[in-house]
Structure 1
Amino acid sequence: MLTFEEKQTIIESFPELSRKDVSMKRVNYHYADSKFDKTVVVQHLHPNGNAFIYVADVPGYEPDSRGLVNVREASEAELRKTIEDAIAGLAEEKTEAEPVEEVWLDGHNSKLELKEEIGAWNIYHGLNLEDSFGDYQEAADYLREEGFKKVEDGGIVR
């Protein structure tokens, strides 16, 4: 495990981070050019070597509910990579994905629409809500079980 001083030296080698001392001899490091309200990259670097890095929405990490991963046992290479990824995550603006809207047809040309809306996957028959599911796969499986096939771009039924 890297010591507090070794971690501090590695973190401070990133010129885009600024240091802020916090309580109990802990140190935070901020990324001022963040595209978001969140600017803390390294949170609570403690003299015992413990620290957290903010990697919410960064692929390849499994952060806690606050978007943080613990780097207490990280090697120098792991620590550097995690910091680089965290900075990159805060530096790029996230683009909202277009909500999914699909048309499904059955053998009688009955049409249902599958729409992603506020965290749910809703199936509509015209303006009427037919059913709602927690994820896409559940909704698609339901439609297939009912004999529907998705209409791809260009009107091809699959």
Structure 2
Amino acid sequence: MLTFEQKLEVIEAFPELTRKEVSMKRVNFQFEESLYDKKNVVYHLHPNGNGFVFVGDLPQYEADSRGLVNIRDFSASQLRSIIADSIDYLGREPEPPYDKRWTNREGEKLDLVYEEPFWNIYTGKNLEESFGTFDDAEDYLLDQGFKERN
């Protein structure tokens, strides 16, 4: 496990982050150029080595309900990687809304709608299914005999 000082050294190598002192000797690092209200990349880094990095809903990380990953046991390369991913995530334009109609041979219609963070399938105004990824929702629709229509 990296020490607090070693983690600071890795984090401070990112010039786009601004250090903010918080209570109980903890430190946050913010990405001021974030395209979202969320600016904290590193959250509550503590002298005991505990802390978190915001990754939102990036699929390669197991984040808590707030989009945070605990970095207590991260190596320097893991820490650099997750911070770079967080900065990229916060600096990336959001994908345009996805709302497409899918139909089957019988003429039945379902709507696939992205409502962050879920891919929801509606029959009219009724929610039919909900998925964590587009691929899972698409697989379900294709298995049920539906095709995307423009």
Residue matched to 1:19:
19
C-alpha distance after superposition, 1:46-100 (max 9, x if no partner): 0000010000122311110000000000000000001000000001011134212
> Taking every aligned residue pair, what percent have the same amino acid on both sides?
41
C-alpha distance after superposition, 1:95-147 (max 9, x if no partner): 134212112123xxxx21111356642235xxxx7x64123479748x94xxx
State the TM-score, normalizing by the size of structure 1: 0.78
Residue matched to 1:112:
108
State yes or no: 1:133 paired with 2:133.
no
**Contact residue 121 and residue 139 of structure 1 kept, 8 A:** no
State the TM-score, normalizing by the size of structure 2: 0.81
Pair 112,59 (structure 1): closer, same or farther in 2 beyond 3 Å: same
Rounded to whole Å, the distance in 1 between the matches of 2:88 and 2:127 is 36
Pair 20,116 (structure 1): closer, same or farther in 2 beyond 3 Å: same
3-state SS of the aligned residue for 2:96? Answer: coil
Residue matched to 2:123:
123
- Which runs of 5 or more structure 1 residues have no equivalent in the other structure? none
Which amino acid letter does the alignment assign opposite residue 54 of structure 2?
Y
State yes or no: 1:10 paired with 2:10.
yes
**Contact residue 102 and residue 149 of structure 2 kept, 8 A:** no
**Contact residue 100 and residue 149 of structure 2 kept, 8 A:** no
Rounded to whole Å, the distance in 1 between the matches of 2:15 and 2:140 is 48
Rounded to whole Å, the distance in 2 between the matches of 1:152 and 1:35 is 31
Q: May I ask how many residue pairs the two structures share in their alignment?
A: 140
Which structure has the greater CA radius of gyration?
1
Residue matched to 1:60:
60
Pair 38,114 (structure 1): closer, same or farther in 2 beyond 3 Å: same
Which amino acid letter does the alignment assign opposite residue 150 of structure 1?
F
